């Protein structure tokens, strides 16, 4: 294993027995057919289960709707991209030449997908209990800092309310493209609001995830321009 990968394993707190699993988890589809999309699919399911179970036991009096919103805020692309940044996924991602030249190493969706793929790889390399322990360690501070008094709303809802509060037109979401096999599709959604000159395009493994990611980016741009 290279020094870069060894350092990465120390950062995530897990040493792989099968180095090839790790390499595949870090390999973007721009590198070819042997990529991380299937591991991402597996990791996505594991992540949702692990976080759902943690929230279920942590907040015994909270109803299903709020639990769902809490989980959505923890497993969305924004949070996953933040985790990838904290653990420096960008230093070890494997990208095709075109993706590298276009700044793919910094692309939030690529980093977020890699986190899910690594979760899937850890599971295949070990077992569920080990995977659960690693994920909960990564999410430790985020789980501890949950404040039930704060409204837990998804990005589309928050964007809509932000625009409505200022008397502005609601956003429109347009599917730009979808690609990939049925089990590993990627959706490209454009979110357009009158306050921004250009639409924001985001990618997700479902149309819903792509819309949420686009809404989050638009909201950050609007709030940034207002604060500026």
Residue 116 known to be catalytic: yes
Nearest to 25 by CA among 10, 42, 11, 13: 42
- 99, 116, 154, 211: the catalytic one is 116
Strands 200-204 vs 172-179: parallel, antiparallel or unpaired = unpaired
User: Is there a catalytic annotation at residue 82?
Assistant: no
**Residues annotated in the binding site for Mg(2+), as ranges?**
40, 113, 116
Which residues are known to be catalytic? 44, 116
């Amino acid at each position: 294993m290279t020094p870069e990968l060894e350092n990465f394993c120390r950062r995530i707190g897990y040493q792989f027995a099968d180095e090839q699993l790790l390499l595949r988890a870090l390999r973007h589809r721009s590198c070819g057919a042997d990529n991380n999309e299937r591991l991402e699919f597996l990791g996505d399911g594991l992540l949702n289960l692990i976080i759902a179970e943690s929230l279920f036991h942590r907040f015994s009096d909270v109803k299903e709707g709020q639990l769902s919103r809490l989980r959505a805020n923890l497993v969305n692309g924004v949070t996953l991209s933040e985790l990838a940044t904290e653990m420096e996924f960008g230093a070890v991602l494997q990208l095709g030449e075109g993706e590298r030249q276009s700044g793919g190493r910094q692309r939030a969706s690529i980093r977020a997908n890699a986190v899910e793929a690594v979760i899937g790889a850890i599971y295949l390399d070990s077992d569920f209990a080990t995977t659960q322990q690693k994920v909960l360690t990564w999410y430790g501070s985020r789980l501890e800092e949950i404040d039930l008094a704060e409204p837990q709303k998804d990005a589309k809802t928050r964007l809509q309310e932000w625009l409505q509060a200022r008397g502005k037109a609601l956003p429109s979401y347009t599917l730009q493209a979808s690609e990939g096999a049925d089990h590993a599709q990627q959706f490209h959604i454009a979110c357009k609001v009158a306050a921004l000159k250009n639409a924001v395009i985001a990618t997700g493994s479902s149309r819903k995830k792509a819309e949420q990611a686009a809404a989050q980016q638009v909201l950050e741009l609007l709030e940034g321009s207002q604060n500026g």
